[in-house]
Amino acid sequence: MTNENKLKATIIILLIAIEIVVWTVNHPHTPNVLSGINGGDENVPEMQNPGMLEGRDSIGNKDEASEYDGSRERLFKNAEQKGLLILVNKENAIPEDYKPDDLKAIKYFVKDRSAGSRYMRAEATDAFHKMVEKAAEENIEIRMTTAYRSYDFQKLLYENYVANEGQEAADTFSAKPGQSEHQTGLAADVSSLSVDYELSDDYGNMAEGKWLAENADQFGFIIRFPKGKEHITGYRYEPWHIRYVGIPAAKEIREHDLTLEEFLQQNDIRP
């Protein structure tokens, strides 16, 4: 660098320094601009995430507990208030006209299934997308076969199963209208090419089904009807049926090998 260029650079630096001093004098409550160069002013409080202030869930691989200033009970309460812990089963039905007002289209689905079922509640849809994309990074393909179902659709489905299988058999794997989680917009049936995109018990033994069982909780999903819990859920084992409950609840359920019914009871959360 020539002496002339050095002189110009020195003058520019001095001018910047003078400007900073003048600004600091005229704005005494503004954090020191120079402090940001070396990591920031420790006396300046860190800006909070707007989502934290509103009590919104953070969906993804992060542990949500670190996103909140509160206990696990508070996290569960937050999920409950958003309707994520609603219990729908043979003892707890929902009204015929119940329909979530925040349904959002799912973009990873099996194409030859009902287009009207390619929806979940917005938060669940976003979580599902993240889960599918994470699985794809590990060469695991997961696709939705059916998600939201209206009361009328479930009625037709159930009556068809009864006609073909008999009511006793149908009641082990199909919900009566008003008793299906699919109507909540929080449940989805998934499958993969390894089982020809069918709903098969074999799915639990496939790489995709194993990945789902081991990782779904990181995205807020649980295997809703696990093996060995049929006497509690009222339905046979379904390795393909996932239910969104939010990350804190999903992790607790998986860690302690619980059903949703057991989780709600243990945490004194009303259905």
Cα atoms found within 13 Å of the Cα of residue 195, Cβ hemisphere only: 21
With 90 as the cut, is the pLDDT of residue 14 above it?
Answer: no
Segment 164-173, tens digit of pLDDT: 999 999 999 9
| pLDDT at site 73 | 87
Could you report the per-residue pLDDT of 124-147, keeping only the tens digit for each? 999 999 999 999 999 999 999 999
Mean pLDDT over 214-225 rounds to 98
Strand partners, 105: 119
| Cα 32 to Cα 52: distance, rounded to the nearest angstrom | 27
Q: Report the pLDDT averaged over residues 34-55.
A: 30
Other CB atoms within a 10 A radius of the CB of residue 15 amount to: 10
> For residues 67 and 138, what is the distance between their CA atoms, to the nearest angstrom?
27
Residue-range domain boundaries for the chain = 3-38, 71-266
pLDDT of 190 > 70? The answer is yes
C-beta separation of 197 from 145 below 8 A: yes
When pLDDT is cut at 50, 70 and 90, the band that residue 7 belongs to is very low
Place of tokens 């998986």: 254
Architecture of domain 71-266: 2-Layer Sandwich (3.30)
The DSSP secondary-structure symbol of 271 reads -
State how far the Cα of 45 lies from the Cα of 27, in Å rounded to an integer.
18
Encoded amino acid at 21, one letter: V
Write the burial class of residue 256 (CB in 10 Å: 0-12 exposed, 13-18 middle, 19+ buried). Answer: exposed
What distance lies between CA 112 and its chain's CA centroid? 25
Q: Collapse the DSSP code of 125 into the 3-class scheme (helix H, G, I; strand E, B; otherwise coil) and give the result.
A: helix
Q: Where are the beta strands (DSSP E) in 192-249?
A: 221-225, 238-244
